[in-house]
Amino acid sequence: CTPPFIADISNNTATTYMGVSSTSSNNPLLLLVCATGICFCYLTYGVILEKLNSNSATLHITTFLLFTQSINNAVCSFILMLLQQSFEVIVVSNKGKNVAKTEQIKKRSTSKQNNASKGNNVPLNHKLLFAASFCYFAAMTATNEALAYVSYPSATLAKSCKLIPTMLMGYFVERHVYHTREWVGAALITVGIVIFNISRLSTHDDDVEHQRDSPYGLFLLVFSLAVDGCTNSCQSQLKIQGDYINYRPPSALETMFWTNLYAIFLFLPTSLISGHWINGMNAIYEVEDAAVMMMQLNALAMAGQICIFFTITFYSPLMCTTITTTRKFFTIILSVLRFGHVFSAVQWSAVMMVFGGLFMEISCKQSSISSYAHSAAKTIPQATDDKKVKQI
């Protein structure tokens, strides 16, 4: 049978699987599934990676590991695309209605699918796909390189500000107009996470560790944030449709395949030049369970990327950034509560700021969906009346 996550989302075909519509960007169930998948995969990924890096022989294998993950993700997404083409089945769940109505819906859906399949002859924008892949490669490389020159808490604080450059790039590059509540929500989330992390650092007396932060390392972190914003802008540009555009928007699986395929040719020379390739191969043969842990990391990265690209395609890169940014924050809260630590007044204030920012982001998203549905409801009767006038 067709896997539940296989759905062509590059067109407007109303594909449904297990009650989830592929065109419902306001579907809370789909967003919950994607957010849960992202959190679970990358939380487990962090635990296994920390265990792998506990051995000194596996410390400097970052680009080698990212290279193997790019191969794994490209192969898996390609297989899923083949399955999608072989099993193009539209599942229509219409409980409580008669068989004739169900057959009518199936014929209508099949007709839409045939019309949408004609659009597959339109080429993809490979220049933009390569640009997105290069930005992903540059951001990952810069972040991991920065860890050699700055402390891990400093890198964590920098990554907490990811929402702001994402929105700035969307505003200046894509000319996207954000609501004031979205700006305020992003600012509350960013400031709340930064304050929470700073308060944690001050309680652990990490001032000595911060003294080794070099300007070069800080520059790499700023560069990584800027490139992250460029990545999201490229992904947003790929979704644009219109008569004046000569390319079709890629599906989630196509985006995943081409992004990782181009990344393979970027990570391969980087791992060879940096020596991470040799270190990785030696670790596989010398470190116990290193190969097993690498396979687990590849599987988690593959599943996590599927959730990420579906979130980007169904919703937006900004929504994906919000999920990935707040994931680490909730991890910290759960770990603190698990070990019975007590929050200070500053930390509680930071928690309230983050939740307030999330509430503003969600409410703004919901209000825009409601206004769109309301305007669409007004447009449909008007179009029907126009047809009647033409017939008369």
pLDDT bucket at 362, cuts 50 / 70 / 90: low
| Per-residue pLDDT, 168 | 81
Least confident residue range of 118-122, 315-319, 356-360, 377-381: 377-381
Amino acid code (one letter) for 127: K
Q: Whole-angstrom Cα distance, residue 91 to residue 15?
A: 7
| Residue 248 pLDDT exceeds 60 | yes
Number of domains composing the chain: 1
Q: Whole-angstrom Cα distance, residue 261 to residue 166?
A: 24
List alpha helices for 97-242, DSSP H.
99-117, 126-146, 152-159, 163-172, 180-203, 207-210, 215-238
CA dihedral of residues 35, 36, 41, 43 (deg, nearest 10): 90
Per-residue pLDDT tens digits for 206-241: 444 444 567 888 888 889 888 988 888 888 788 776
Q: Name the average pLDDT for the chain.
A: 73
The answer to whether residue 290 is domain-embedded is yes
From 69, 68, 62, 61, select the one nearest 283 (Cα to Cα): 61
The answer to whether residue 10 is domain-embedded is no
What are the Cα distances from residue 168, in Å, to 139, 160, 218, 227, 286? 17, 15, 20, 12, 46
| Per-residue pLDDT, 83 | 86
| Per-residue pLDDT, 17 | 37
The answer to whether residue 117 is domain-embedded is no
- Determine what percent of the chain is predicted with pLDDT higher than 90: 15
| Per-residue pLDDT, 271 | 93
- Determine what percent of the chain is predicted with pLDDT higher than 70: 64
pTM greater than 0.85 (yes/no): no
Instruction: Look up the domain containing 344 and give its range.
Output: 25-92+124-371
For 211, the 3-state DSSP assignment is coil
354-374: average pLDDT: 63
pLDDT bucket at 4, cuts 50 / 70 / 90: very low
Segments of the chain assigned E as strands: 16-17, 20-21
Interaxial angle between packed helices 252-274 and 276-286, expressed in degrees from 0 to 180 and rounded to the nearest 10: 90
| Per-residue pLDDT, 7 | 35
313-325: average pLDDT: 76
pLDDT bucket at 352, cuts 50 / 70 / 90: confident
The answer to whether residue 347 is domain-embedded is yes
Which range, 300-309, 337-346, 381-390, is most confident? 300-309
The answer to whether residue 379 is domain-embedded is no
From 9, 215, 218, select the one nearest 113 (Cα to Cα): 9
| Per-residue pLDDT, 328 | 66
pLDDT bucket at 11, cuts 50 / 70 / 90: very low
From 227, 265, 29, 31, select the one nearest 139 (Cα to Cα): 227
From 245, 252, 190, 201, select the one nearest 7 (Cα to Cα): 252
Least confident residue range of 96-110, 194-208, 239-253, 378-392: 378-392
List alpha helices for 118-148, DSSP H.
126-146
Which range, 24-38, 288-302, 378-392, is most confident? 288-302
| Residue 194 pLDDT exceeds 60 | yes
Q: Whole-angstrom Cα distance, residue 156 to residue 149?
A: 14
What residues does 17 pair with on adjacent strands? 20
| Per-residue pLDDT, 14 | 42
pLDDT bucket at 340, cuts 50 / 70 / 90: low
| Per-residue pLDDT, 332 | 65
The answer to whether residue 4 is domain-embedded is no
The answer to whether residue 200 is domain-embedded is yes
Least confident residue range of 72-81, 88-97, 190-199, 244-253: 88-97
The answer to whether residue 116 is domain-embedded is no
Per-residue pLDDT tens digits for 60-111: 788 899 999 999 999 999 998 888 787 754 433 444 444 445 555 455 555 4
| Residue 259 pLDDT exceeds 90 | yes
